[in-house]
Amino acid sequence: MMEPVKGIERYTRRPGPGGETGGSYYRIRCRHCSSVFERKARKYSGPPPDLEGEVLPEAKKAGWDVLHGARRAMCPGCRGVLAQAKAKKEAKIMVTKPTPTPKPRTEPGEVVPLKPAVAGKAEAPPSMDIDAAFLIRDKLGEVYLDAQRGYGEGWTDKKVAESLTVPRDWVRQVRCKVYGASSAGGAEDFAPVLNEARAVLAAAKDLTEQGLKVQQEVAVFERARGEVLAQVGRLERRLADIEKAVG
Ligand SMILES: [Zn+2]
């Protein structure tokens, strides 16, 4: 047997007793099992010009995987096993991937964990359920003094909403129901006042800056006036001198 070229062996076979034809053969081996692919070599006077071109297409036709050359060839049997294993693996992934989360059942009287207020801003605001309403009412009972005095120190609609992880608007709704629509919702009620104060401050700052500008302009004007007056004085003196000289 000759040295394999690019994984393709060449050997000479004698005519077999059962009528097998003798001659030159090529052979490639499966990289996983003992299967071989054999092909009778064409006759050349010299070495074959393209060994791979002669053997690999034939092997491929016979169902072999020769995509990565004869050294990494795979027989049809091993290809089948590999394909099966792959399909099984994929099926397993398909099964394990989508596991729908079961909806939690609600027993009567059970406190339902409330969903965070921030979940899904694009969606329509969730409507309040009865459990949430009771929870908010109880919390307000702890931290809200009365309609006149409003919240106890440090508490606001916002803080209650955050402590219960419910939308702030739910807290406002419950507060208005329990303590009246004019009841104070906490520091956020001062937002309009704060905005007005900010606007007034901004206007005051603007006026101060304008005043400074006027002051600077006045200083420039005063300097110019001084220079003109000095010039007038000099001219008066010169005129007086001339009058004296002429007169
Ligand atoms: Zn094989």
Cα 67 to averaged position of ligand 1 atoms, centre (Å): 15
Residue 6's Cα: distance from chain center in Å? 49
Cα 32 to averaged position of ligand 1 atoms, centre (Å): 5
User: Quick check: 54 and 26 in contact, CB under 8 A?
Assistant: yes
| Closest C-alpha to 166, from 216, 113, 209, 96 | 113
Q: Report the alpha-carbon distance of residue 242 to residue 247 in Å, rounded.
A: 8
H or E element at residue 167:
none
Cα 8 to averaged position of ligand 1 atoms, centre (Å): 16
Write the CA distances from 230 to 220, 234, 242, integer angstroms. 16, 6, 18
Cα 61 to averaged position of ligand 1 atoms, centre (Å): 16
Cα 37 to averaged position of ligand 1 atoms, centre (Å): 10
Residues with CB under 5 A from ligand 1 (ion): 30, 32-33, 35, 75, 78
Per-residue pLDDT of the chain (247 residues; tens, 9 = 90+): 567 888 999 888 888 777 777 888 899 999 988 999 998 888 777 766 788 888 999 999 999 999 999 999 999 998 988 888 888 888 877 766 555 555 555 555 555 555 554 444 455 567 788 888 889 999 999 999 888 888 888 888 999 999 999 999 999 999 998 888 878 777 666 666 777 888 888 888 888 899 999 999 999 999 999 999 999 999 889 888 888 887 7
